A and B are shown apart, each in its own frame.
Chain A
Amino acid sequence: MKNLGIKITGCIIAASVSLMATGPRVTASMFTDVKNEIVAVEAPKLYSMQQSNGGVVFEIVTAALKTQNETATLTTYPIQKMVDYYLTQEKVLGSIGRVKEFSAEDKKGNILLPVSRVQQQDYWILFNVKNADAKTIAKKYMEGITTILNNGQYHAILEKYEGKNSLSAGDIKAFKAQWKKELLKK
């Protein structure tokens, strides 16, 4: 009986090897649904494809969206020209970066919202109104940020990357005040 078991296992392995050799290779990309794509110029630790959660700035964005049952993917490029291409030509959902990195054309008509202040720099998300879902998702993002600010998750993400005690209560208070101002503007 033991021998039979080994033989059956052997047959299954042989069959699967044969299938692999003759059929198309199944790759992860075949199942990747690129939805709500956010593009950026690679910035290690802040927003980076090399970090499992995309880096501190991107993780705040995804945490906010998650509270509203939305997801987002991050694709980074080595050059702003490519980010601009994806915003204007491929109509991706948005981009993250510092305000000065967005061109006048990028800012024009698009929705620009703050994400966080990290290492004395302010980082923003730009929702691309050329994308049909941008306005809706921007609204959800605003609600999401309010939620994670209030439930402590926002603080926790920053501490995870920047270290405990790296943020003063004043930093968070300042961001909350900035956030309220943005909400009033919208």
Chain B
Amino acid sequence: MKMLFGVCIAMAYTTILSGVDATCVPPESVGLSSQRLKNIDTLTDTLIDEKKMAGTVVLVARHGKIAYFKASGKADEGKSMEKDSIMRIMSMSKPITSVATMLLYEQGKLLLSDPVSKYIPEFKNQKVLVPLPQGSPFPYKLVPVKREVTIRDLLAHTSGIMYISYAGLYPNELGRKDMLDLYKGAQINDGYCRSDEEIGDMVKRLGRLPLSAQPGELWEYGLNSDVLGYLVEVVSGMKFDKFVEQNIFKPLKMDDSYFILPQEKVHRLAAVYKSDWNGGLERVGEHEMLFSNELAMCPYNAYETSGKYFSGGGGVLSTAYDYFRFSQMLLNKGELDGVRLLSRKTVELMTATNHSGQFYADYLHDKGWKFGLGFAIQQDREHNVDAGDVGVFEWAGLYSTRFSVDPKEEKITIFFSQTTPFGHHFDVWDKLEVLSASAISD
């Protein structure tokens, strides 16, 4: 009992985050071992001591209560990382966009089986790029889709829409070089830099370009959530940022989540650091663009207090606590603090593992992980990436953020950092999953 009390004092029993009461309970009261959770301290302290990451925020919650919540290191030069530091969550925006879509689904405004062209006519009569053998007079041919891209395809990443930056993950036999040429020529971007246009402008151009695969025939991580963001605009008649603000952020009291930060919160934004994972840690410059092969990112966009490109795939800025609230809503099957966003049946649908057919979501993960309607879901325990349970669902963001929800254990794990490149964080995350799961003591 003495030990329990000590742990909770050390971790700040109650933390006031910008007026939000983020109570931390004694871990043992929710079946977690405070002693074992200290292993997370060791993990993050080591990362920071070895200058692999500048700062981190880690949150572990169980049965709806936060049992571990700790900020370590620095958020910027001369500024310590705080629990309420705001970060670029990048692709962790995707589950939020999926929820936005499912809200309209529950209102009867769309069906997952609806062709996207029903709402965005540019997606009508799409074609698929099929490369022709070397030496052919033309490098490829465009063949009609066997069926149209549906809203479910967008949610499950089975549409055949690519990301420019991930095209290299696929063999060029799939015509990726030609697809890249067309995407670049049409000024499609991955949404990691804010364009001076509205999301619909880009999505309409995208709809007129070929697909990389027949809808439903390949799991390919792509710009699907950006298309969904525009689809939400078309169906709801609201700008995507306003729709999300009014229908998700406000009801869930995610008071520090935005597409565009208000001026008074800019000082809470954590800087992005480049890490060579070998002690070389450098703050990204004020207006520095980050390039890596086809990947282009503009972390400085987050400091801008105006903009009109609301990327459903990567545009949200948030805090670990806000994302905990979002995750808890999903864990609670659609409800948080008496506010119901989605029905139990819809969350069950989103976390079902058969949306991507035979295909695994092995990008980020491994075999044994399927993609639902917005995140990857662990399907078995036979493979390398193990989050502790079949049914765990999770996703990540390009500046090394990640979340995971274990429905069986009612446990949420959140890791926030602002570190590039992304690849280094896999080891940290896999270990954090182990530490979080092995802290269960009931």
Interface residues of A (CB under 8 A from B): 27, 29, 32, 34, 42, 49-50, 75-82, 85, 88-90
Inter-chain pairs besides A49-B122, A75-B125, 19 sampled, C-beta below 8 Å: A27-B115, A29-B125, A29-B148, A42-B205, A76-B208, A77-B186, A78-B187, A78-B208, A79-B185, A79-B186, A79-B209, A80-B185, A81-B181, A81-B182, A81-B185, A82-B209, A82-B210, A85-B138, A89-B138
Pairwise interchain contact B141-A82, C-beta atoms closer than 8 A: no
Docked Cα-Cα span, A79 to B187, in Å, equals 9
* Contact partners of A50 in chain B: CB under 8 A: 204
Pairwise interchain contact B141-A89, C-beta atoms closer than 8 A: yes
Docked Cα-Cα span, A80 to B185, in Å, equals 8
* Contact partners of B181 in chain A: CB under 8 A: 81
12 contacts between A and B (CB under 8 A): A29-B125, A29-B148, A49-B122, A75-B125, A76-B208, A78-B186, A78-B209, A79-B186, A79-B209, A81-B181, A82-B209, A89-B138
Q: Which residue of B lies closest to A32 (CB)?
A: B125
Docked Cα-Cα span, A42 to B202, in Å, equals 13
Answer yes or no: B124 CB below 8 A from chain A CBs: yes
Chain A nearest Cβ from B440, distance in angstroms? 45
Docked Cα-Cα span, A90 to B210, in Å, equals 14
* Contact partners of B138 in chain A: CB under 8 A: 85, 88-89
Docked Cα-Cα span, A135 to B193, in Å, equals 47
Docked Cα-Cα span, A34 to B121, in Å, equals 16
Answer yes or no: B43 CB below 8 A from chain A CBs: no
* Contact partners of A32 in chain B: CB under 8 A: 125
Docked Cα-Cα span, A4 to B115, in Å, equals 38
Answer yes or no: B17 CB below 8 A from chain A CBs: no
Answer yes or no: B142 CB below 8 A from chain A CBs: yes
Interface flags for B169-211 (1: CB within 8 Å of A; 0: not) read 0000000000001100111000000000000000011001110
A77/B115 contact (C-beta < 8 A), A29-B125, A89-B138 known: no
Docked Cα-Cα span, A80 to B148, in Å, equals 24
Rank and list the top 9 A-B pairs by shortest CB-CB distance, nearest first. A78-B205, A78-B186, A79-B185, A79-B186, A77-B208, A78-B208, A89-B138, A81-B185, A79-B182
Chain A nearest Cβ from B68, distance in angstroms? 48
Most buried by A among B115, B125, B141, B208: B208
Pairwise interchain contact A29-B208, C-beta atoms closer than 8 A: no
Docked Cα-Cα span, A20 to B125, in Å, equals 22
* Contact partners of A27 in chain B: CB under 8 A: 115
Cβ 8 A contact of B142, one of A29, A34, A76, A85? A85
* Contact partners of A49 in chain B: CB under 8 A: 121-122
Docked Cα-Cα span, A29 to B122, in Å, equals 13
Q: Which residue of B lies closest to A27 (CB)?
A: B115
A-B contacts, CB under 8 A, total: 41
Docked Cα-Cα span, A16 to B171, in Å, equals 47
Docked Cα-Cα span, A32 to B121, in Å, equals 14
Pairwise interchain contact B125-A82, C-beta atoms closer than 8 A: no
Most buried by B among A32, A77, A90: A77
Docked Cα-Cα span, A32 to B181, in Å, equals 30
Docked Cα-Cα span, A68 to B122, in Å, equals 30
Q: Which residue of B lies closest to A77 (CB)?
A: B208
Docked Cα-Cα span, A68 to B73, in Å, equals 76
* Contact partners of A75 in chain B: CB under 8 A: 125
Chain A nearest Cβ from B160, distance in angstroms? 16
Q: Which of B385-419 contact A (CB under 8 A)?
A: none
Chain B nearest Cβ from A89, distance in angstroms? 5
Docked Cα-Cα span, A42 to B187, in Å, equals 13
Q: Which residue of A lies closest to B210 (CB)?
A: A82
Chain B nearest Cβ from A174, distance in angstroms? 34
Q: Which residue of B lies closest to A34 (CB)?
A: B125
Cβ 8 A contact of B182, one of A29, A34, A82, A88? A82
* Contact partners of B142 in chain A: CB under 8 A: 85, 89-90
* Contact partners of A85 in chain B: CB under 8 A: 138, 142
Q: Which residue of A lies closest to B125 (CB)?
A: A29
Q: Which of B110-169 contact A (CB under 8 A)?
A: 115, 121-122, 124-125, 138, 141-142, 148
Pairwise interchain contact A82-B124, C-beta atoms closer than 8 A: no
* Contact partners of B125 in chain A: CB under 8 A: 29, 32, 34, 75
Docked Cα-Cα span, A88 to B137, in Å, equals 10
* Contact partners of B185 in chain A: CB under 8 A: 78-81
Q: Which residue of A lies closest to B117 (CB)?
A: A29
A82/B208 contact (C-beta < 8 A), A89-B138, A90-B142 known: yes
Q: Which of B79-135 contact A (CB under 8 A)?
A: 115, 121-122, 124-125
Q: Which residue of A lies closest to B114 (CB)?
A: A25
Docked Cα-Cα span, A27 to B121, in Å, equals 13
Docked Cα-Cα span, A85 to B186, in Å, equals 14
Docked Cα-Cα span, A88 to B115, in Å, equals 29
Pairwise interchain contact A42-B115, C-beta atoms closer than 8 A: no
Docked Cα-Cα span, A76 to B205, in Å, equals 10
* Contact partners of B182 in chain A: CB under 8 A: 79, 81-82
Docked Cα-Cα span, A77 to B142, in Å, equals 14
* Contact partners of A88 in chain B: CB under 8 A: 138
Docked Cα-Cα span, A50 to B121, in Å, equals 9
* Contact partners of B122 in chain A: CB under 8 A: 49
Docked Cα-Cα span, A89 to B141, in Å, equals 8
* Contact partners of B124 in chain A: CB under 8 A: 29
Docked Cα-Cα span, A122 to B142, in Å, equals 31
